[in-house]
Structure 1
Amino acid sequence: MSRKTYICNPKPLFNPPKNAKKRSAFILYAMKKASEIDVARNKLNYTLLPVDPKTGNVLVRFRRLNEHRACAMRAIVLAMLYYYNIHSKLVEASIEKLSDECGLSTFSDSGNKSITRASRLISNFLEPMGFIKCEKTNSKKMSNYISKKIFLTPMFFALCNISEKKINYFLSKSKNLIQGGESQKIFLSFSDIKIMSKMDEKTVRKKILNALINYYTASELTKIGPKGLKKKIDIEYSNLCKLRKQK
């Protein structure tokens, strides 16, 4: 069997689930930064020494990125950012979920699912390179695959060209909002923000209004009132302007 035949879906892409809750300002910023560069060709992939997570020893024989693994990495990095919790540093998604939404899962003729492509990328590359840390859990999501918790490390964000200073900025801002009794909400998707960055202010505000109307129930909108709704539009527009500048 040729290599081309063996690889299923040679150009995987991360497709966020429809109707999922909107992501935080940090996640939108981080995904934007990661999508602007080729994370699979970052020099860190070739200069860092891979280490065995179990022993701490440098791995002398180590498989670097071929093009198929590079394609998988580009997709799964965005997926990990999408599900990242900035407070716990945890990727709030299983390997199976990441594999499914990146188009990396395959099925045999008998209908059995395999997440080997994603699992090997995580266990045999991302973790030894120090981009992530994994912890095994007691439960098993699938037979033959041990469920793991995935934590993103500072090196992961260096890979995505995201500075520690920027992470601390979002973290501090988030904590201040929570302590002040406010919760910052971004009602626009990653793709929405990319499209709206080219629109004029009036059009953008109208789209934000529609997003808010779709997000809240009728009773919630009544409680918010016209003044409250205008304030939320101002906040969301301000957030969008900040994201435009943070390139």
Structure 2
Amino acid sequence: MTRPLSDLTVLVTGAGRGLGAAIATAFAHHGARVAINYRNSRTEAEALAETLGPRAAAFQADVTDAGAVTAMVAEITARFGTPDVLVHNALADFSFNGEARSHLDQLTWAEIAAQAETALGGALTCIQALRPHFAQQGFGRVITIGTNLFQNPVVPYHDYTAAKGALLALTRTAAKELGPLGVTVNMVSGGLLRTTDASRATPEAVFDIVAGQTPLGHVTTPAEMADAVLFFASPWARAVTGQNLVVDGGLVFG
């Protein structure tokens, strides 16, 4: 079963700003109904929804709270219909600042758990909330957001990378279990993005180094990442599931 992007209702978690906002914008430009989830960024989320028009709206929920997610899905359903596509982009508070990161001798389990609670726990709550709808219609798309630090931990952000690694594992096991329901589950992994709130702390010299090492000669943008997310939601990816697509201009291969 395939459906055009313009026929889909899409929930993007953590979409009030940064990469999430770029993903929401890309879906809206292709005619989808877009639910912009936010935790704290109400002003930004509502402003984005107003910019995107009547087929977009902002919905508040902490994705680590199963009850809040269930309530949010009910609100989205009343407004647009139950989401057919989940893009799990929400990120626990994090700054890509190599100088300020926790080294192994300082790292606490609480730091890893905080990242995993949003990356992994948020994916779980959202998938569980949407699974009955996916099963009823025999169709669904789940896209998670990963990182190319799996392949090349050029800066060892231990907590962030470990949480995203666990999310990749869940992406693949969920693909196995949800496949018979007509649901595909895939991950899009970027590297350093130019620019999001999380990467604003990155020194300009680092952006230049990454660009110089990348075959395409520039640092990937949020809009370029969003294009790959659209692919996994589109009919063109109907036979693709359990995959991790790296979108970083060729910085990392494999």
Common fold: TM-score over 0.5? no
Shorter-normalised TM range = under 0.3
The structure with the largest alpha-carbon Rg is: 1
TM-score of the superposed pair, with normalisation by structure 2: 0.23
Structure with more strand by fraction = 2
TM-score, normalisation: structure 1: 0.24
